[in-house]
């Protein structure tokens, strides 16, 4: 190749590249970040407007083409994701945190201002209240719920409460462990909930006196204790809160943990909100249950520990059930 020919070829390459560069610069100036959906002037349309509008609106009616197969694989920009993020961070997380803190605060205030609850020494004898299987089932469900609550709250609130304290590395390890543990034990909660419902549902239907019990708040606010059967209206309310909240948790959890069923991104976003709201609501209910089963109504916890309760406790809080046990001779008198 001669020197003259080499120079001519080099000049043509430079001129061609210069033309390509000029075209790219012009396109960038027309449709670049200065406004992908705007016009350069009133007379010249932005050639990128139609492109970005189509991207935001999703695939055409006839369907798009993608090497990735699955629901929503042809959607390049999911605008619903931003709405979900806003709902989660501006509503579910702050309001959920305030709800749980508010319930704990109300319980503390109520405990401080109420008169000392009645206590029983067991001298009147004992009554068998719950069978071994029922106690095992209760603690199995309660243990799973506590574990799932702690891991779930870590994932929900940890970014705001734990990350600044622990740092990214430590919090990342904890969050990863919580996610795996939550997904692993979640299906076990479904089994426990189904067994719990089957065992206790027959005792938690509405019965005579339940509305009166609710109107008097079980006598917690003063006055004579209203009549109650094996379960009072407050315990029945907790049972159905656990059932409805648990079903919502289980259904939404299955959709979130098993995306291979073909559910859409929008459905999973909605189920994550449902999962968070149901979890926070159940945790708030359980705060009240724990208080009433311990300091709120002394003597109640023995039913879940030993299966037996004091006879005077039964007469005071479940008088109709106590009379049934008395008629059947089920009261175990104290020896000596």
Tell me the domain boundaries of the chain: 84-332
Please count the other Cβ atoms lying within 10 Å of the Cβ belonging to residue 325: 19
Percentage of the residues of the chain whose pLDDT score is greater than 70: 77
Please give the DSSP secondary-structure letter assigned to residue 120: -
Rounded Cα distance between 156 and 111, Å, is 29
Coil, strand or helix: which one is 121?
A: coil
Indicate if the pLDDT at residue 241 is higher than 60: yes
- The residue-averaged pLDDT of 198-225 equals 89
Per-residue pLDDT tens for 277-314?
999 999 999 999 999 999 999 999 999 999 999 999 99
Q: Is the dihedral of CA 242, 243, 246, 252 positive or negative?
A: negative
Per the structure block, which two tokens stand in for 308? 């037996």
263 pLDDT tier (thresholds 50, 70, 90): confident
Q: Is 33 a residue whose pLDDT tops 50?
A: no
Q: What is the structure's pLDDT at 60?
A: 59
Domain 84-332 falls in which CATH fold?
Fumarate Reductase Cytochrome B subunit (1.20.950)
What average pLDDT does the structure give for the chain? 84
State the pTM of this model. 0.78
**Confidence (pLDDT) at 2:** 59
pLDDT at residue 66, rounded to an integer:
67
Q: Is 242 exposed, middle or buried (0-12, 13-18, 19+ CB in 10 A)?
A: buried
pLDDT at 47: 67
Cα dihedral across residues 48, 50, 54, 60: positive or negative: negative
pLDDT band at 41 (very low <50, low <70, confident <90, very high): very low
Per-residue pLDDT tens digits for 46-93: 766 776 766 666 665 555 666 666 666 666 666 677 888 889 989 999
């Amino acid at each position: 190749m001669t020197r003259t020919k080499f120079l001519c070829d080099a000049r043509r390459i430079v001129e061609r590249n210069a033309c390509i560069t000029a075209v790219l610069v012009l396109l960038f100036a027309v449709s670049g970040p200065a406004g992908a959906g705007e016009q350069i002037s009133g007379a010249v349309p932005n050639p990128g407007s139609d492109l970005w509008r189509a991207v935001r609106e999703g695939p055409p009616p006839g369907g798009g083409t993608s090497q990735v197969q699955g629901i929503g694989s042809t959607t390049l920009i999911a605008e619903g994701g931003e709405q979900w993020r806003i709902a989660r961070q501006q509503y579910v997380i702050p309001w959920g945190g305030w709800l749980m803190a508010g319930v704990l605060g109300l319980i503390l205030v109520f405990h401080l201002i109420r008169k000392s609850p009645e206590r029983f020494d067991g001298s009147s004898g004992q009554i068998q209240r719950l069978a071994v299987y029922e106690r095992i089932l209760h603690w199995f469900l309660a243990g799973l719920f506590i574990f799932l609550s702690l891991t779930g709250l870590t994932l929900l609130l940890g970014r705001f409460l734990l990350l600044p304290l622990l740092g990214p590395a430590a919090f990342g390890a904890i969050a990863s462990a919580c996610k795996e543990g939550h997904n692993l034990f979640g299906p076990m909660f479904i089994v426990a909930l189904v067994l719990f419902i089957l065992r206790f549902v027959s005792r938690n239907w509405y019965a005579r006196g339940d509305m009166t019990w609710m109107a008097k708040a079980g006598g917690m606010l003063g006055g004579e204790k209203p009549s109650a059967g094996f379960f009072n209206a407050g315990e029945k309310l907790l049972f159905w809160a656990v059932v409805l909240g648990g079903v919502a948790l289980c259904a939404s959890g299955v959709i979130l943990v098993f995306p291979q069923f073909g559910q859409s991104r929008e459905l999973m976003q909605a189920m994550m909100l449902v999962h968070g709201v149901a979890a926070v609501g159940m945790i708030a209910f359980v705060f009240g249950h724990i208080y009433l089963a311990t300091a709120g109504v002394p003597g109640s916890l023995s039913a879940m520990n030993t299966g037996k309760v004091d006879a005077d406790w039964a007469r005071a809080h479940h008088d109709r059930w106590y009379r049934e046990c008395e008629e059947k001779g089920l009261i175990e008198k104290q020896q000596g």
